[in-house]
C-alpha cells in the first residue's frame, strides 16, 4: 500500500495531458498526410521486425525466381512462395512487366515511396522527442504562475510545485526514454530494410533485362536502383 501511494505521487493527469498531448499535437501538425497513422502503426514492427532475417529470405526467394525464369519463363516468377509482402508484390510486377524499363520504373517509384513513408513515421517520433521538453517547460511555467497567484493559500503551493516538477519530468521521459529511442530504431530498421529491398530489386531487374526488352542505355557502372534517393 505504501508503494502504491508513492507511485501515485508521480501521476498527474493534467501534467500528462500537457506534455504527451501537447507534444503529440505539435508533431501531428508538422507531419504529412498519413504520417501520424503510420507512426503509431509502426510501433508493432518497431519491436518485432527482423530485417536481417528478411534479407536472407529475399536472397533465397530471388534465387528461386532466377531458376524459374531460366527453366520456364519470367511470367512464372510470381509462383515463388515468400512470406514477405514486398517480395510478393515485386514478383507479380516482374511476372507481368511488359519490358525491363517498365519494371525499372516501378522499382524506382516503389523504393522512393517506401523511403518517404519510413521517413514520415520516424520524423513524427523525432518531432515528439524534440517538442516534449518544451511542453514540459510550458507546464512548469503554468504551474509556477498558479503557485505565485495563490501564495496566500499555503495548501495550493504544494500541488502547484508538484505539477511544475512533474511536467518537466514527463517531458524528459517522453523525449529520452520513449520517442527518441523509437525514432532511432525506426530509422535504423528503415535503412536496413531499404538496403535489402534495393538489392532484391536490382537482381530482379537483371532477370527482366535478360528475359525482356533490354534497357536502351550504355553499359552501367552502377546499379540504377542505387542511384535513387
Number of folded domains that form the chain? 1
- Identify whether 7 is part of a domain: no
pLDDT tier, 47 (very low <50, low <70, confident <90, very high otherwise): confident
- Identify whether 4 is part of a domain: no
pLDDT > 70? residue 53: yes
Euclidean distance between CA atoms 83 and 88, whole angstroms: 8
Angle at 191 between CA 108 and CA 184, to 5 degrees: 140
pLDDT, mean over the chain? 87
205-225 pLDDT tens trace: 998 888 775 545 555 545 556
131-152 pLDDT tens trace: 999 999 999 999 999 888 888 8
| Spatial CB neighbours of 65, under 8 Å, sequence gap ≥ 6 | 77, 80, 91, 94, 204, 207
pLDDT of residue 221: 45
pLDDT > 50? residue 163: yes
pLDDT of residue 187: 95
pTM for the full model? 0.82
- Identify whether 128 is part of a domain: yes
**8 A C-beta contact, residue 83 and residue 50:** no
Using alpha carbons, list the distances in angstroms from residue 101 to 81, 153, 221: 25, 77, 17
179-197 pLDDT tens trace: 999 999 999 999 999 999 9
pLDDT of residue 223: 57
| Spatial CB neighbours of 169, under 8 Å, sequence gap ≥ 6 | 10, 136
- Identify whether 6 is part of a domain: no
105-136 pLDDT tens trace: 999 999 999 999 999 999 999 999 999 999 99
- Identify whether 3 is part of a domain: no
Domain range for residue 77? 14-214+223-227
**8 A C-beta contact, residue 210 and residue 69:** yes
pLDDT of residue 215: 47
Euclidean distance between CA atoms 149 and 154, whole angstroms: 11
pLDDT of residue 79: 87
CB-based burial, 60-84: b 16+ in 10 Å, e otherwise: ebbeebbebbeeeebeebbebebeb
Place of cell 534465387: 63
- Identify whether 181 is part of a domain: yes
- Give mean pLDDT, residues 19-45: 93
| Spatial CB neighbours of 185, under 8 Å, sequence gap ≥ 6 | 46
**8 A C-beta contact, residue 64 and residue 79:** no
Using alpha carbons, list the distances in angstroms from residue 47 to 38, 64, 111, 115, 192: 15, 30, 23, 19, 15
pLDDT > 80? residue 42: yes
pLDDT > 50? residue 93: yes
Of 99, 42, 38, 94, nearest to 64 by C-alpha is: 94
Amino acid at each position: 500500500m505504501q508503494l502504491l501511494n508513492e507511485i501515485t505521487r508521480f501521476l498527474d493527469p493534467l501534467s500528462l495531458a500537457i506534455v504527451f498531448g501537447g507534444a503529440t499535437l505539435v508533431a501531428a501538425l508538422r507531419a504529412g498526410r498519413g504520417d501520424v497513422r503510420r507512426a503509431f502503426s509502426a510501433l508493432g514492427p518497431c519491436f518485432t521486425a527482423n530485417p536481417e532475417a528478411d534479407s536472407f529470405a529475399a536472397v533465397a526467394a530471388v534465387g528461386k525466381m532466377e531458376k524459374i525464369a531460366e527453366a520456364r519463363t519470367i511470367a512464372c516468377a510470381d509462383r515463388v512462395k515468400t512470406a514477405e509482402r514486398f517480395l510478393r508484390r515485386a514478383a507479380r510486377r516482374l511476372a507481368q512487366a511488359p519490358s525491363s524499363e517498365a519494371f525499372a520504373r516501378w522499382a524506382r517509384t516503389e523504393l522512393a515511396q517506401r523511403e518517404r513513408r519510413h521517413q514520415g513515421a520516424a520524423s513524427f517520433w523525432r518531432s515528439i522527442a524534440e517538442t516534449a521538453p518544451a511542453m514540459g517547460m510550458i507546464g512548469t511555467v503554468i504551474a509556477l504562475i498558479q503557485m505565485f497567484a495563490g501564495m496566500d493559500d499555503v495548501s495550493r503551493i504544494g500541488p502547484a510545485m508538484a505539477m511544475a516538477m512533474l511536467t518537466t519530468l514527463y517531458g524528459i521521459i517522453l523525449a529520452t526514454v520513449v520517442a527518441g529511442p523509437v525514432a532511432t530504431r525506426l530509422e535504423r530498421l528503415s535503412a536496413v530494410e531499404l538496403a535489402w529491398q534495393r538489392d532484391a530489386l536490382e537482381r530482379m531487374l537483371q532477370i527482366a533485362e535478360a528475359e525482356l526488352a533490354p534497357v536502351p542505355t550504355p553499359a552501367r557502372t552502377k546499379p540504377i536502383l542505387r542511384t535513387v534517393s
